[in-house]
Chain A
Amino acid sequence: MAQQFCTFYLNNTHFGIPIHQVQEIVRHQTPTRIPLAESNVCGLINLRGQIIAVINLKRRLGIHTEIIEQRSDSVQYNVVICVSDEVVSLQVDQLDDILELGDDDFEPSPATLQGTLRQFLQGAYKMANGFLLVLDPAKVLETKP
Chain B
Amino acid sequence: MSTAIDDEDIQAFLVESYDNLDRIERDILVLEETPADRDVLTRLYRSLHTIKGNCGFLPFPKLESIAHAGESLLGKLRDESVEITPEITSALLQVADEVRQLLRGIEATGKETGTDYSTLIRTLESVHNNSSTQSSNSLVHHKLDSSESSEATASTIRVNVALLDRVMTLVEELVLARNQVVSFSDVLDNSSFAKVCQRLNIITNDLQEEIMRTRLQPMGTIFQKFPRVVRDLAIVHHKQVQIHIEGAETELDRSLIEHIKDPLTHLIRNCVDHGIESTDVRAAQGKPAKGRLSIRAFHEQGKVNLEISDDGNGINPEQLKQRAQQLGMLSSPQAEALSDREAFDLMFLPGFSTAEHVTHLSGRGVGMDVVRSNLELVNGTIDVRSQVNVGTTFRIKIPLTLAIVSALLISSGNQRFAIAYTNIQELVRLEGQQTSQIETLYNVPVYRLRETLLPLVYLNLVLQLTDEVATSEVVYIVVIQVDEYQFGVVVDAIDDVQEIVVKPLGKQLKELAVYTGATILGDGQIALILDAVGLAHQSSVIAQFQKRLSANTPEIATDELDQQSILLVEGPQRSRMGIPMLAAVRLETFLPSNIEQVGNQSLVKYRDRILPLIDLHQVFGSSMPEREELSVVVVALSASCSVGLIVDRVLDIVEDSLSFKGGATRPGISFCASIQDQVTEILDIDAIVEMVNPHLLRQVG
Contacts and interface: CB of A to CB of B under 8 A. Distances in A.
B526 A36 contact: no
B173 interface: yes
B525 A32 contact: yes
A37 B463 CA distance: 10
Contacts of B172: 49
Given A36-B463, A46-B524, A88 B508 contact: yes
A88 to B, nearest CB: 6
B507 A45 contact: no
A33 B525 CA distance: 11
B413 to A, nearest CB: 8
A35 B524 CA distance: 20
B573 interface: no
A53 B506 contact: yes
Interface in B467-524: 503, 505-512, 514-515, 518-520, 524
A36 B505 contact: no
B507 A143 contact: yes
Contacts of B511: 143
Contacts of A33: 415
Interface string A48-60: 1111110100000
B464 interface: yes
B513 to A, nearest CB: 10
A35 B503 contact: no
Q: Which label, helix, strand, loop or mixed, suits the secondary structure of the B interface?
A: mixed
Nearest to A84: B507
B508 A41 contact: yes
Contact of A143 (B510, B514, B538): B510
Interface in B437-467: 463-465
A45 B526 contact: yes
A50 B507 contact: no
A143 B509 CA distance: 9
Contacts of B15: none
A86 interface: yes
B526 A44 contact: yes
Nearest to A83: B507
Nearest to A53: B508
Interface residues of B, number: 30
Contact of A52 (B173, B176, B506, B528): B506
Contacts of A51: 503, 505-506, 518-520, 526
Given A35-B415, A46-B520, A51-B526, A141 B507 contact: yes
B464 A36 contact: yes
Contact of A50 (B176, B503, B508, B510): B503
A17 B512 CA distance: 28
Given A44-B518, A46-B526, A143-B510, A53 B464 contact: no
A47 B528 CA distance: 15
A53 B75 CA distance: 59
A36 B506 contact: no
Which of A32, A33, A36 is most buried by chain B, counting CB atoms within 10 A of its CB?
A36
B170 interface: yes
Given A46-B526, A49-B170, A35 B465 contact: yes
Interface string A39-83: 001001110111111010000000000000000000000000000
A25 interface: no
B506 A86 contact: yes
A98 interface: no
A53 B173 contact: no
B465 A41 contact: no
Interface in B403-455: 413, 415
A34 B528 contact: yes
A33 B465 CA distance: 10
B528 to A, nearest CB: 6
27 contacts: A32-B415, A32-B518, A33-B415, A34-B515, A34-B528, A35-B415, A35-B465, A36-B464, A37-B509, A41-B509, A44-B505, A44-B518, A44-B526, A45-B526, A48-B173, A49-B173, A49-B176, A50-B503, A51-B505, A51-B506, A51-B520, A53-B506, A55-B508, A86-B507, A88-B506, A88-B508, A143-B511
Interface of A: 32-37, 41, 44-46, 48-53, 55, 86-88, 141, 143
Smallest CB-CB A-B distances: 6 pairs: A35-B463, A49-B173, A32-B526, A53-B508, A51-B503, A51-B518
Interface of B: 169-170, 172-173, 176, 413, 415, 463-465, 503, 505-512, 514-515, 518-520, 524-528, 538
Given A35-B463, A46-B524, A51-B503, 15 more contacts: A34-B515, A35-B415, A36-B463, A37-B509, A41-B508, A44-B518, A44-B528, A46-B520, A50-B503, A51-B520, A51-B526, A52-B506, A86-B506, A143-B507, A143-B511
